[in-house]
Amino acid sequence: MKIKILISSLLLASCFASVHADTQASQVSSKAVSSYAKTKYPIVFTHGMAGFIRVGTDQFGLDYWYQILPDLARNGANVWATRVSPFNSSEIRGEQLLQQVEEIRAITGAEKVNLIGHSHGGPTIRYIAGIKPQYVASLTTVGATNKGSPVSDLILTVRDVAPILETPVTSVVNALSKAIVWAQGLDPNSYPHDSLASANSLSTSGSAKFAQQYPLGMPSSACGEGAAVEQGIYNYSFTGVGTVTNLLDVDSVLKATSLLIDGGRDNDGLVPRCSAKFGKTIRDDYNWNHLDEVNQVLGLKAIFAPDPVDVYRQHANRLKLQGL
């Protein structure tokens, strides 16, 4: 048994070492004009499935957290964007994030960080709190797959019904994962890509197993609140329940996937409202779809919906007022 554990540890170590050089977190700096968002600890952002820090060039690129991090920096926050495998399990992504959290702690001298994760980034940051709670001041999940997504369940069901599709589909999605890394100017092979592991992690059954192992902040009822503070860690969540929020926005295609979830009701196009619940709910009914939650695409949203940039700034101030 000890030999098996040692071999597994070495394999995991080699896997993570291969991505370490290219997964260093990126600090977002801007001349501060106020201290409104100046938290005690750095704020560290983690993207979801198929995510990135920035794709394209400096002149014609696109940030995942569109306009959000520069605004926080202008308001005094010490803010960082992290990069993990676009498609892989919550545990693999969590180990990649852990390396970057340790780098941020070393660079800033901060004892802890405030972690914010969107979509699959939610379970990813929860992994850090599960294995290194001493590193975490707060966890905030945004439109997160804390209890999984029926969309992932459907994908796995199709795989089970037609197993012949597994290899070609996973190959295509793994190629997409590599393309996302390449578009960030990195070697695609420096990251492990595993779309099937991603689908399993995002399924309702996979998410339930993950929650059993990492229960901190998780609600005990189907759609209730989790612990607002647990093991000294402050827990928050917010999410949208919109689908087509702006007809000019390409993310309107999420209307199709929303229909796979409770007939198109009470979800953001990919994640059910109740699945996104974690810790203290800030709000669970924003008129945002899954991409609006990170101010995509290019800030297009419903006319009267709250500006995500404002919501994140206000949340940073909330953390500040809690002494975090």
268 catalytically annotated = yes
The set of residues, in sequence order, having a beta carbon less than 8 Å from that of 61 and lying 6+ positions away, is 54, 55
Q: How many CA atoms lie within 13 A of 42 on its CB side?
A: 27
Q: Beta strands 43-46 and 79-82: pairing type?
A: parallel
Strand locations in 47-155 (E)? 54-55, 62-63, 79-82, 113-118, 136-142
Phi, psi of 10 (to 5 degrees): -65, -40
Q: Beta strands 229-230 and 233-240: pairing type?
A: antiparallel
What is the rounded CA–CA span in Å between residue 261 and residue 150? 6
290 catalytically annotated = yes
* Interhelix angle 195-202/150-161, nearest 10 degrees: 120
| Active-site option among 268, 284, 292, 315 | 268
Answer whether 234's CB lies under 8 Å from 240's CB.
no
3-state secondary structure (DSSP) of residue 239: strand
The set of residues, in sequence order, having a beta carbon less than 8 Å from that of 193 and lying 6+ positions away, is 85, 86, 87, 88, 174, 177, 178
| Active-site option among 193, 290, 292, 315 | 290
| Active-site option among 85, 119, 149, 203 | 119
58 catalytically annotated = no
User: Angle 71-72-74 (CA atoms, 0-180°, nearest 5)?
Assistant: 65
What is the rounded CA–CA span in Å between residue 20 and residue 99? 7
Q: Just list the catalytic residues.
A: 119, 268, 290
